[in-house]
Amino acid sequence: MPTPKRAANGPRRLVRKPTGNHHIRVVSVRFLLIAALVAAGVKLIQVQGFEAEALAAKAEQQRSTEIDIPAIRGSIVDRNGVELAFSVDSRMLAYQPQAMRKAYPDKKGFEDRTAEIALALRTELGNRVSESDLLARLRRDVSFVYLVDKVEPAFAREIQDRFPEIISEYRAVREYPGRSLASNIVGVANWRMDDPNVKKHNLHGLSGLETLRDHELSGKPGRQVVDTEEGSQSVVIPGTERDLQPATDGSDIQLTIDADLQYHLQQSLANYVAKGQAKGGSAVIMDARTGEIYALANDKSFDPTAADGLDTASMGNAAVSTPYEPGSVNKIVTALCAIQEGIAKPGDVHMVADSINVADRTVHDAWGHATLPFTTTGIFAKSSNVGTLMLAEECGPDRFSDLLHKLGLGQRTGVGLPGESPGRVPPRGQWSGSTFGNLPIGQGLSMTVLQMAAMYQTIANDGVRVPPRIVSARIAPDGTKVAEPRPKGVRVVGAKTARTVRDMLRAVTQDGEGLNDGTGPAAALTGYQVAGKTGTGQQIEPATGSYSNSKYWITFAGILPADAPRFVVGIMLDRPNYSGGPPEGRSAAPLFHDVASFLAQRYNIPLSKKPSPIVPLIED
């Protein structure tokens, strides 16, 4: 224990002897400091000398974003180049409320700024936007919000100059200048979310050719790297764009339809359906030689530009998707068989009663009469069920079935439209005795209005059926035109047979004396020979499963002109007011007349060299 020492005139104090512990601690601290400095130096050398490039790339990735370069969607045009659908540049304005709140620590500053933005947008865009709605969006507690769509690029630049925090996203607006014109054919394209978790949009087809030919129309987006604002992948720093892969624009699609003719057919059909108090209707106009569709319409269409949304109930295309039992227009099959097989000639006389037994069924003519001497032409011109079944029995089920197949019934036409139905023809092996009492008169099988017209295109084209088509060509972005493959024709009957039947069907439109008038004189067009066939198909009563006596499909198929065929027209009316209603509910022949008149004028079709002869339908 240390000995206390007394200071002069004072108390004693303790004096400690030095030890070695302090020296060790100093040395240890110095060693640790040196080690830390060495480690830091080594790390600095590693970062700056060996990892600089990799770390720079990583830093670049943290502020760079890879985005799409949008491709321009191709247009859809008619046969004359009239645009039915095309795209124009547009912008979508957006905002980042949460990020902007942080930029304005003062709550009042944030509210003043958002109020200024909402007022500016309302002032410039007018009734397109609501100031209160914009304000609510701008102040939402979310990271990202869309403000207004379909803004012109020039306005988007102007508003961003005033308010740099506004985000502008690329859009393309799909324009349909004809609104509902050919909408069932063209369809509609719109923006949709590819992934609900990301803000990435693409313009894609939703219906019609916009969907079926979407791949060709949409092209292929390119890729681009851009630098974005810190903390945001939406605000691009101008001038930082670097292309990785350029965009490939979509191709234009050229159709075979004529926009003016399409408009006329749509309007005429809709008006006729309304007058006839029908539930619906469809019609088609085909080129007699090539099978090209010049117009295809339904009474119901939709406006793809409607502000209140799409009418999805009218977006289908019943002309190709909804089959029906055609009634007497199907008697052309028996006529072809009878002439082709030499069973009868046009002027041959057949004693026809007003009823006939087929297996366990009795079939009647539409009008009661005594046994009368019908000519072969008269059987079809006056649409005798009994006379048709008499000739069909001589034709036989096998030859009849073979003709149905060659005429394309029970098969899709391959027209190039989505949702096409093949219709239905009972397989030959499933026919019973009574089946052959139905098929020749157009019951027990179904077809679309397009298939019906295609049958008559066969006789208009001298016995060769050319499958219909509606797309003419694809036009690449560089202007190169690539024609669609032309379908091969199918020889159904000989040219002489086809011409003979075509001439026989001129009598359908003749207005003769006494019993020598056909069933469709209202289809006749002054100055032109017209061949055609009327039809009335009974519909099934859902409650009983039997044929109705009040619900019908009314049909007409016609050729203009019969002596030099240019066009084939097919018409179907669904459940018009047939009994006791207006005349439009009992026949589609007057509608054919109106359409044929427009065709003759628009295409300057030469007048027939001579009128159709009046031929005997029932011999005296």
Known catalytic residues are 328
- Its sign, for the CA torsion 43, 46, 47, 48, is positive
Helix (H, G, I), strand (E, B) or coil at 72: coil
Q: Give the CA distances from residue 199 to residues 87, 147, 192, 193, in Å, rounded to whole numbers and listed in that order.
A: 21, 14, 10, 8
Helix (H, G, I), strand (E, B) or coil at 501: helix
Residue 24 structure tokens: 């060790």
Q: 397-406 and 385-395 helices cross at what angle (nearest 10)? A: 100
Half-sphere exposure for 432 (CA within 13 Å, toward CB)? 7
Count of CB atoms within 10 A of residue 320's CB?
29
Contacting residues for 400 by C-beta, under 8 A, at least 6 apart = 333, 334, 337, 392, 436, 439, 440
> What dihedral do alpha carbons 72, 73, 74, 77 form, nearest 10°?
-130
Residues found in the chain? 620
Task: Return the amino acid letter for 467.
Answer: P
Q: Give the CA distances from residue 526 to residues 348, 374, 611, in Å, rounded to whole numbers and listed in that order.
A: 29, 27, 9
Contacting residues for 515 by C-beta, under 8 A, at least 6 apart = 372, 382, 617, 618
Contacting residues for 94 by C-beta, under 8 A, at least 6 apart = 144, 145, 146, 147, 166, 167, 168, 169, 234
3-class DSSP string for 25-39 = HHHHHHHHHHHHHHH
d(CA 126, CA 104): 28
Residue among 229, 271, 503 at smallest CA distance from 376: 503
- Its sign, for the CA torsion 288, 289, 290, 291, is positive
Q: How far is CA 556 from the centre of its chain?
A: 26
Q: Give the CA distances from residue 469 to residues 110, 457, 488, in Å, rounded to whole numbers and listed in that order.
A: 60, 13, 11
Q: Give the CA distances from residue 309 to residues 146, 190, 302, 315, 318, in Å, rounded to whole numbers and listed in that order.
A: 19, 12, 10, 12, 21
Compute the chain's Rg from CA coordinates.
40
Strands 76-77 and 252-255: parallel
Q: What is the DSSP letter of 577?
A: -
